Amino acid sequence: MLRQILISLALFLCPLLWGASAAEPAVAPLLLSSCDDPAEWSGGSADTARVKQGRASLRWEHAKADGISLAKVPADWSAYDRLSFWLYSERATNSSFMLILSSENPETEGPDYYSRSIRLNFTGWKRFRCYLPQMSAARQPLGWNRIGGLRFTASGWGNEPHPEAVVCIDEVILTHEGKEMGPRMTDEQLFEALNLEYPGLGEVKTAVAKGDLAAAKRALAQYYRNRQTPKWYFPAGVKADPKPEKPNTARADRVLRHEMESIGLRHQFGPEIDWTFDLTTAPGSNYAPNNEWTWQLNRHADWSALARAYRDTGDERYAREFAAQMMQWVRTCPVPEDAANTARSTWRTIEAGIRAAQVWPDLFYRFLLSPEFTDEALVTMVKSFAEHAMYLLPHPTSGNWLCMEGNGLFHVGVLFPEFKDAAKWRDTAVEWLYAEMENQVYPDGVQIELSSGYHHVSLSNFLGVFRLAQLNDIALPADYLKRIERMYDFDVYAAMPDRRLPGVQ
């Protein structure tokens, strides 16, 4: 009883700590399972040696059972926005398993559910907090008031039970804590993460020492506007010279009115853009379901259209809209605590890598000197760049995805050397990509997927690291360029007479 009282008291305070309105009615937490009694679960056994709360935890050995499920689950979760649980990992096997919350819709084919992937890349206890509104939805689940089950499974979704994976689960609980907001990095954490001894940050250091973080942010923004290195492919704020007589701003003008485009399909949003929206699965949609709509929306090609229009016209409306959308995206799409490579995710690791290497740097330098790119917007984007690197570093995948992740990590490490971890970001990225040149590329230079398209996905990211390193005089392994040249041999030998590559898959 005392334990439940303490839990209720602590979780009652969570909305206050997260800035929820005092007018919001308090929602008492709901303990789904204390995990003291394994009879509440199908699969698993009691573990009294590894306990986070109460008398026991639920032990799950993946070699003995590929999944476990909670026997009784309330159907209506609509009053809650967090599902939390403690997880103990005996060994960092780097294997993954899924949390599945079923919500079956009889009108659709196949299972309907919400999910989250969990990677065992840690040891000891770790608290997992799942923000329900941003969990991945498969097909058309009926909703949070129609939950039919809770289970963990190490099979399916590209996973297999790892013979050495052993976890313990404790205290599975539902709470209402209010909407998650970004950036997660606070001002204090930003200045702690920066190397304030870095050349040019003297005014920032002085302001931080005085405890004047507002002045420190102003000084940091001015530093970024004035710095001359590292180098990018065009000077900060440069406009088209001469300006085109008839600039093509059609897509940018649509973005101004929140008509966004992904995979060739447009959608008109209202004043607030829902970055988790999927046009292809929306009620009444005539399109075949395609997760790529949400994923590619979050690669921010629409923002690149704003940048091109700003370059060609100098019209500050485009800079103003970029700053507003970027701030809204960072605010409503906080960086996940774990890899979020699922449907309707705004933070798949592939998108994080693409943004950090191929999209956001252009945006940062294009809008850097605009009066509409305020100090607050600039510092917020710098925070998010750092959060991209901090997210990518512990969540590497494999194959061509890892090339995109590594390219993104390298770009943040090069373009933001003021961070204490910048060298680690750069070095780790180079290690990943250099290893992938061996893992992914045959001796004749052909990428292992034997696909013209994916050959160039990996190649373009290997090349992205090389070009930025060369631009900023950063050393790479001695044969890095030679390995890239070998991949271009494939293009030469496989090209048709018109110099196009066949669409090999």
Catalytic residues: 454
What 3-state class would DSSP assign to 10? helix
Contact by Cβ (8 Å): 151, 69: yes
Tell me the one-letter amino acid at 339.
Answer: A
Contact by Cβ (8 Å): 447, 455: yes
**Which residues, 6 or more positions from 267, have their beta carbon under 8 angstroms from its beta carbon?**
259, 260, 261, 277, 279
Cα separation of 439 and 422, whole Å? 26
Instruction: Specify which residues 69 forms β-bridges with.
Output: 42, 151
Task: Pinpoint the alpha helices (H) of 236-315.
Answer: 250-256, 292-297, 301-313
Cα separation of 159 and 261, whole Å? 32
Query: What's the N-to-C CA distance of the chain in angstroms?
Result: 61
Cα separation of 148 and 7, whole Å? 25
**Which residues, 6 or more positions from 133, have their beta carbon under 8 angstroms from its beta carbon?**
81, 179, 276
